[in-house]
């Protein structure tokens, strides 16, 4: 049995993955989420935590929000830390701006998760067609679903996200990376 290890900057990412990964990973692949207390904590501790991970053949994927930073710089910094930890094949994925961009890309999933009608009709608007470009997607999501909370909302939406939805490039890249890692293994 193989194991995939996800290094995450916050609990809401874990809640999302708990709904998403069982639908995404093939049988025989288990996963573990290592959750940090924000991006600074992730960057401060990830080298030590990766070095200390003892499961043979474990595959690592680091997921972090872009926020207002340059995506290429964030990715390069995290990739350098993976190499420093002795895991140069670890995959780094950046959620463009925030995880909520992924949710805005699939308003049908948001509507299903919150059992609220009419939300998916907004999908044709420009901001929802390219949500990775939205500056503060969490604020926009809270406006259309006032009862949205980061952790419980991520858990609910993760169970419905369309794995083939391409409106969020960063979500599509994440899904593709997970599927590729599940098939090729840690050195693929």
Dihedral, CA of residue 63, residue 29, residue 169 and residue 157, to nearest 10: -80
Q: Is residue 34 part of a domain?
A: yes
**pLDDT one-digit tens code per residue, 77-110:** 999 999 999 999 999 999 999 999 999 999 999 9
**93 within a domain of the structure (yes/no):** yes
Q: Is the pLDDT of residue 185 over 90?
A: no
Q: Are residues 105 and 39 in the same domain?
A: no
On whether both 107 and 14 belong to a single domain, the answer is: no
pLDDT of residue 54: 87
Residues 110 and 172 in one domain: no
Residue 63 above 80 pLDDT?
yes
Is it the case that residue 187 has pLDDT exceeding 70? no
Residue 27 lies in a domain: yes
Residue 21 and residue 108 share a domain: no
- Whether 51 shows a pLDDT value over 60: the answer reads yes
What integer best gives the mean pLDDT of the chain?
93
pLDDT at 162 over 90: yes
CATH of residue 37's domain is 3.40.50
Within a domain: 79? yes
Mean pLDDT computed over 163-175: 96
Give me the number of domains the chain comprises: 2
* Residues in Cβ contact with 19 at an 8 Å cutoff, skipping those fewer than 6 apart: 154, 155, 156, 157, 158, 159, 160, 161
Domain residue limits at 73: 2-97+168-184
Domain shared by 25 and 73, yes or no: yes
pLDDT digits (tens, 9 = 90+) for 83-92: 999 999 999 9
Same domain, 79 and 109: no
pLDDT at 2 over 90: no
The proportion of the chain whose per-residue pLDDT surpasses 90, expressed as a percent, equals 86
- Indicate if 53 and 114 belong to the same structural domain: no
pLDDT one-digit tens code per residue, 17-43: 999 999 999 998 999 999 999 999 999
Residue 163 lies in a domain: no
Q: Are 29 and 68 contained in the same domain?
A: yes
The answer to whether position 124 is within a domain reads yes
Task: State the pLDDT at residue 122.
Answer: 95
Structure tokens at 84: 């420093």
pLDDT at 52 over 60: yes
pLDDT at 188 over 60: no
Residue 176, domain member (yes or no): yes
Do residues 104 and 86 both lie within one domain?
Answer: no
Mean pLDDT for the stretch of residues 169-173: 96
146 shares its domain with 75: no
Tell me, yes or no, whether 89 and 114 share the same domain.
Answer: no
- Dist. CA 131–CA 134, nearest whole Å: 5
Same domain, 46 and 124: no
Phi/psi for 29 (5° steps) reads: -105, 120
């Amino acid at each position: 049995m193989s194991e995939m290890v996800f290094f995450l900057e916050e609990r809401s990412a874990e809640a999302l993955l708990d709904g998403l990964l069982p639908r995404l990973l093939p049988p025989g692949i288990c996963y573990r989420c290592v959750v940090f207390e924000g991006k600074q904590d992730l960057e401060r501790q990830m080298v030590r935590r990766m070095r200390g991970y003892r499961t043979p053949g474990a595959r690592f994927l680091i997921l972090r929000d872009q926020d207002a930073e340059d995506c290429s710089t964030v990715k390069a910094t995290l990739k350098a830390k993976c190499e420093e930890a002795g895991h140069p094949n670890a995959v780094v994925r950046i959620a463009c701006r925030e995880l909520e961009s992924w949710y805005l890309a699939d308003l049908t999933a948001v509507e299903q998760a919150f059992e609220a009608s009419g939300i998916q009709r907004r999908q044709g608007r420009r901001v929802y067609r390219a949500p990775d470009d939205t500056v503060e997607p969490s604020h926009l999501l809270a406006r259309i679903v006032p009862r949205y909370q980061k952790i419980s909302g991520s858990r609910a939406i993760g169970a419905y996200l369309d794995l083939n939805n391409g409106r969020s490039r960063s979500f599509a890249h994440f899904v593709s990376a997970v599927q590729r890692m599940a098939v090729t293994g840690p050195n693929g």
